[in-house]
Each structure stands twice: as structure tokens, then as C-alpha cells.
Amino acid sequence: MSAADLQSRSAFELAELVRGGEVSAREVAEAFVSRTHEVEGSVRALVRWNAESALEQADRLDADRARGRELGPLAGVPVAIKDNLCLTGAEVTCGSQILRGYESPYDATAVARLLAADCVILGQANMDEFAMGSSCENSSYHPTCNPWDLERVPGGSSGGSAAAVAGGEVPLALGTDTGGSIRQPAALCGVVGLKPSYGRVSRWGLIAFASSLDQIGPLSIDVRDASLALGVLAGVDEKDSTSSPEPVADYVGQLEDGIDGLRVGVLSEIDEGDLDAGVLSNWRESLAHLESCGATLEAISIPSLKSAIAVYYVVANSEASANLARFDGMRYGHRSAEAESLRQLYDMSRSEGFGDEVKRRILLGTFALSSGYYEAYYGRALGVAARMKLEFEQAFGQVDLIVTPTSPTAAFRIGERVADPLAMYLSDVFTTPASLVGLPGLAVPSGFDASGLPLSLQILGRPFAENQVLRAGRAFERAAAVEPKRPEIGGRPVSTT
């Protein structure tokens, strides 16, 4: 089987081929190492990758299979891991200068479960620093480019993970989602992105941004691969008290059950005037595709949605202020060599270590938590989030699923929104609500605009109803017939590092 053929296969197909002995794990690894060498110099999706390590992992799997061990559900599948997930023996930096040189002594639970399923970790994906951003321009390493147009952003903060899948460097990647950081880059890069329900996947070993919102999930070529990955990742973890004991469904086994007869809610709060023309046209087509699958569309209302962006940025920034306080040059993180006093050590270490966007959010969060302002900002934001959760519960009394566009625009140009934080924050207008109330959300490719840029549909479900969300995504995927395509990427090959 040729390298090009292997590179075009889904994770599900690759694992079946390796388990069945039709190809070796080494052949698969070599194919994706070759592809990464070919395109990484242009896309810049990864901050670290090691061909030798990937081939060694593959050789071990082939040796295990030769000895008679039945390989796991991700047998030989190359995977990229976002740079905020701990990986034994690897530098893990959250895309930040302040953590440069930190080598993790353990695996995050999500990473450990992937490895136990016999995947091959090819490398670590670029990200907005500490997962704060919607464009992957805030990394202290380099901006990542969208494989569909190298002058455009891949989205963020899991932009490296999305770009690695879209560019064919890996068929599967792990990202994290705090307010849309899996779904929005999946949308902009034309891949599938799943944010599970809060508590569905253990957060142990994830370097925290906002602990009440952060979730780990897969980015993949299609919905079946996302279902396969979730089945590996999901489940309670004694190391994470926020992980849920809710039973794990057979996501792949239920995937083809369809959505005939399901009620799908369409939010009256969606202002079509805020959508780009291509997004609006595609949104209407997407609704028609859902009806063609047998779903019934029903108008619903979540009145508090108009406050979602404001609430999200108060809650997330407040929690970030608390979580990032530990990186002070004394307990953890970069220590300034120029400081001459304790106060200077704190000031200079954090000033040198954190980028502008992280500093902005720490300042905003610290202000919201400060004496005299806590109830006015953080307390009030939590109150609105609680009301939003109640409104979603009421809406799910009427409908089974809720759909929106994933992003109000297609991918924007690199540098276009750097000087306008508000415009950048509004990229997440459709994704933040699910994060605030802990719902599962799936971004599914829904077509392309007139410029050939990917567009996406977001499907939301009740807490822990990922099986239903994935079924709907699979049905929509078939109805919309958006064939997974590989963008043409010109550029410069790179050497492995």
C-alpha cells in the first residue's frame, strides 16, 4: 500500500489495517512522517516532533502483534498532542516562554488512554499561549497557518491540532476546549472537532486555563474517528474529582442509527445579519440537510445567550488569574536572571514569561476578583451562567439537539484581528455557551465558501448525550456529502527535530 494511500485513510481504517496485518504500524508511521516532512515547513502545526521516536513506537507495536497480542482500537494511528497536555519525558510549555524547559514526569490521563489504545504519538501541536486565543497567533513559538490558505489563521487555541489533521500530518489529534478552542479551529480548518460534556474526559495532566470550563477532546477527519477517539478517552478517573462516573456509551456502535424523528432546535437568537454571506447561505443549506435526514426543525429561544461572550470572558479570565498565579519565578516557571529583589523577581519573571494576550487576561481576571468588584463581575457572571444553564435545560425539554453555525466567518487573515481583541473574542460567539453550561458540542464540516474556505455546523446535545450528538453529526456528514479533501500545500520541506 502506497504512502499516499495510507495518508488518505481515516484513523478507523488505519487501525483496522494494522490490527489485521494488512500493513505494519511502521509503514503507517513512515507515511505520516513523510507527509509531515513535506508540509510542516509551510503549515507549522507542531512545536515538537520526532520521527525516530514515532518509528520506535510503531516497531514496538509490530513486535507486540507478532508475539500474538491483539492491538487496541487506535493500533498504529499517528496522533498529535496539544502542547498543554503532559507527556512523559517531553517538554510541555503551553506555547509559553514561562514554561520553556519544563519536562513532564508523567502522562495526562487522556494521553495515557491513547497510548494504552496503541496509538503512535508523532508530535506536540502548537497552540495559543495557555489556550488563550482564537487564531493560534499568540504562541511564543510561531503562528500556525491554515492548510487551506497559508495566509489565513487555523483558529485557536487548538490551531496546531486542527491544522495538523487538515494538512494530513496526522489523522487524529487531541485539543482542549475552554470556550470553543476545539470547535472553532475545526471549523476554520474543515475537520471534525468534539468538545465532550464537562466531566466526560479526565482533565488530570492538562495544564489549567479555566478549571470549570476546560475539556479535552479529539479533532479528526470524520465523525467516526471522533467517536472512536471519544470511546478511548471517556470515563471516570480517580485522579480527577470532576470526572463523571456516567457510563460510557458505545459511540461507534450507535453511530449509524440516524436522526429520523429527532427534534432539532434552531435558536431565535441567531442574528443572520452577523453572519458572512457564505456562512449564511451554508447555514440555510445545512438546516435543509438535517430535514432531509428526517429531523424536525423547531424554533427555540435561550434569552441569556446575548450575554454569553461577556460572561465567558469574566469567568475564564478570573479562573486564569488564579490558575496562572503559580507561575511566578519562585514556585513554577521562568525565573528572571536580572531581578535584584523579590518584587522585581515576580514582576520581571512574569513580564518576560507571559505574552501580551495572557497578560491582558490575567489583568482583567484579577480586577474582576478584586475587593469591591467580585460580586459586581465574577459573582454576577456566575449568576447569568446559572440562568443560561436553566434555559438550556428548558429548551432540551422541547428538542433533542440544538444547532448553530460553528463560526460566524470563515478563516480570517493572519494579523487581521491582532489589534482588535473584541473582534477576535467574537469569533467564539457560537461556541462559548456550550462551555459555560457543560454541554457536548460537535463541529462538522458543512461545505466551502466562494473562496474555497471551509465552513462548519455545530451540533449541541444534553449533558453526556455525546452518542446522540455524534449520530446527528454522522447523519449530517452523509447528507451534506462534504468529502474529506486534502488542501494543496506548497512550501518547504523540513527536517525532523
User: What's the CATH number where 413 sits?
Assistant: 3.90.1300.10
Is 439 a member of any domain? yes
Domains in the chain: how many in total?
1
Is 337 a member of any domain? no
Q: One of 10, 24, 82, 202 is an active-site residue; which one?
A: 82
Q: One of 134, 139, 157, 318 is an active-site residue; which one?
A: 157
Rounded-to-integer distance, Cα 358 and Cα 131, Å: 9
Other beta carbons less than 10 A from residue 360's beta carbon: 14
Contacts of residue 396, Cβ cutoff 8 Å, sequence gap at least 6: 402, 462
Per-residue pLDDT, 423: 86
Bridge-based pairing state of the strands 454-461 and 78-82? unpaired
Per-residue pLDDT, 340: 87
Per-residue pLDDT, 478: 95
| Residue 82 designated active-site | yes
Q: Tens-of-pLDDT digits for all 497 residues of the chain?
A: 899 999 999 999 999 999 999 999 999 999 999 999 999 999 999 999 999 999 999 999 999 999 999 999 999 999 999 999 999 999 999 999 999 999 999 999 999 999 999 999 999 999 999 999 999 999 999 999 999 999 999 999 999 999 999 999 999 999 999 999 999 999 999 999 999 999 999 999 999 999 999 999 999 999 999 999 999 999 999 999 999 999 999 999 999 999 999 999 999 999 888 899 999 999 999 999 999 999 999 999 999 999 999 999 999 999 999 999 999 998 999 999 988 898 999 999 999 999 999 999 999 999 999 988 899 999 999 999 999 999 999 999 999 999 999 999 999 999 999 888 888 988 899 999 999 999 999 999 999 999 999 999 999 999 999 999 999 999 999 999 987 667 888 544 444 33
Is 323 a member of any domain? no
C-alpha cell recorded at residue 52: 525516530
| Residue 446 designated active-site | no
C-alpha cell recorded at residue 256: 449509524
Q: Which domain holds residue 234?
A: 3-301+394-480
Q: Residue 388: enclosing H or E segment and its boundaries?
A: helix 380-395
Is 380 a member of any domain? no
| Residue 181 designated active-site | yes
For 132, the 3-state DSSP assignment is coil
Q: One of 24, 139, 181, 286 is an active-site residue; which one?
A: 181
Per-residue pLDDT, 490: 59
Rounded-to-integer distance, Cα 295 and Cα 177, Å: 28
The one-letter amino acid code at 454 reads P
Is 383 a member of any domain? no
Rounded-to-integer distance, Cα 60 and Cα 18, Å: 13
Is 497 a member of any domain? no
β-sheet with 120-125: strand ranges across: 46-49, 120-125, 78-82, 172-177, 215-220, 192-195, 441-448, 454-461, 401-405, 263-267, 296-300
Q: Do the Cβ atoms of 212 and 316 come closer than 8 Å?
A: no
Is 88 a member of any domain? yes
Q: Residue 232: enclosing H or E segment and its boundaries?
A: helix 223-233
Is 350 a member of any domain? no
Say how far residue 59 (Cα) sits from the centre of its chain. 29
